[in-house]
Amino acid sequence: MKPSKNMYYWFSMFALNFFLFQLISDKVRPSYNGDSLLVKYFLGIAPNFFPAIAIPALFLIIIPQLKLTNKWINNNQHVVANLISTTGLVSWEFIQISSTKLHFDWNDIIWTFIGASIFQLLWKVSPKSG
- What pLDDT was estimated at residue 128? 72
Give 59-94 pLDDT, tens digit per residue: 999 988 888 888 888 888 999 999 999 999 999 999
User: Angle at the Cα of 16 (from 46 to 62), degrees rounded to 5?
Assistant: 105
* Helix, strand, coil abundance in the chain, percent, nearest 5: 80, 0, 20
In this prediction, residue 130 has a pLDDT band, given cuts at 50, 70 and 90, of very low
Taking 70 as the threshold, does the pLDDT of residue 129 lie above it?
A: no
Mean pLDDT for the stretch of residues 29-46: 94
- What pLDDT was estimated at residue 1? 46
